[in-house]
Amino acid sequence: MSNQKQKIIIANWKMNPATFIEAENLLKTVKGGIKKSDDVKIVICPPAIYLAKIKTNSGFELGIQNIFWEDKGAYTGEVSALMARKLGVKYAIIGHSERRIYLNETDEMINKKIKAALKNNLKPILCIGETLEEKQKDRTSKIIANQLKLALKNISKFQILNSRFYFAYEPIWAIGSGETPSSNEVMSAALLIRKIIANLYDRQTADNLSVLYGGSVTSKNALDFLDNSGMNGLLIGGASLNGSEFNKIVKLLNC
């Protein structure tokens, strides 16, 4: 079951930095500015090509930004959950909105990736959220419910409760836009996710979820999202590429 007291901060570097030297310098900045704490867990998700080198001196738990649903085979360019686990990776971001939008990733594909992650003892970070158009048409609840229902097809309560499953609410309209929802909107999303999970499974499962927020997180709004919205952690994109800004966020949560 999830530890509701411990916050988790996941740094999603996306397709950055451009060179490993830059990645190494970023990691050094983060390591040098953060004091280890039992209150905050930090997970770094660099480009897959950097994972092997970063593993040797990161000092943090590592995640992978995407996985394929087969362990091996003729799937050019893909990285399997098995490969990631053998490398020491513990987390897998699955269903990020950028993959849904730019690479046409479907909920059915996401479901297969979740099953592959669970099979290989990776902790899934399932991303869900609505577009601006869907929000304006008041379809947020329907969109999130559908994403969860399809992504979790044939996945049991036991798997969710015992795999340290994470659900990341990332309103697509807020990612990289500089716009952010209010803490009330984020709280509503957290409650909605728990309500849907309670309907799909039961209240125990819903109460023990770890729900994260992602979408234009900065040191100015991070604490508000966690203190006032019922979230258990943050999935940070752009701000995680600025070592000093990322460290500010972590220090705020350690206070």
- In the 8-state DSSP scheme, what is residue 121? T
Distances (CA, A) of 54 to 21, 48, 150: 11, 10, 34
CATH code of 250's domain: 3.20.20.70
Sign of CA dihedral 24, 29, 30, 32: positive
Q: Where are the alpha helices (DSSP H) in 38-182?
A: 51-55, 81-86, 97-102, 107-119, 132-136, 140-151, 157-162
Per-residue pLDDT of the chain (255 residues; tens, 9 = 90+): 344 568 999 999 999 999 999 999 999 999 999 888 878 999 999 999 999 999 877 889 999 999 999 999 999 999 999 999 999 999 999 999 999 999 999 999 999 999 999 999 999 999 999 998 999 999 999 999 999 999 999 999 999 988 889 999 999 988 777 778 888 999 999 999 999 999 999 999 999 999 999 988 999 999 998 888 889 999 999 999 999 999 999 998 886
Residue 2 is assigned to a structural domain of this protein: no
**pTM here?**
0.95
Beta strands (DSSP E) in the chain are 7-12, 40-45, 61-64, 91-94, 123-128, 166-169, 210-213, 233-236
Residue 139 is assigned to a structural domain of this protein: yes
Structure tokens at 197: 């999970």
Residue 46: burial class (beta carbons within 10 Å; 0-12, 13-18, 19+): buried
Residue range of the domain that includes 151: 7-254
What are the residues facing 40 on neighbouring strands? Answer: 7
From the list 22, 86, 90, the residue with the least C-alpha distance to 60 is 90
- In the 8-state DSSP scheme, what is residue 80? B
Q: Say how far apart CA 224 and CA 237 lie, in whole Å.
A: 17
- In the 8-state DSSP scheme, what is residue 205? H
Residue 1 is assigned to a structural domain of this protein: no
- Report helix angle 183-200 to 140-151, nearest 10: 40
* pLDDT at position 4: 53
Please name the amino acid found at residue 74.
A
Residue 56 is assigned to a structural domain of this protein: yes
Say how many domains are in the chain. 1
Q: Say how far apart CA 197 and CA 148 lie, in whole Å.
A: 8
Residue 110 is assigned to a structural domain of this protein: yes
Q: Which are the catalytic amino acids?
A: 96, 170
Residue 200 is assigned to a structural domain of this protein: yes
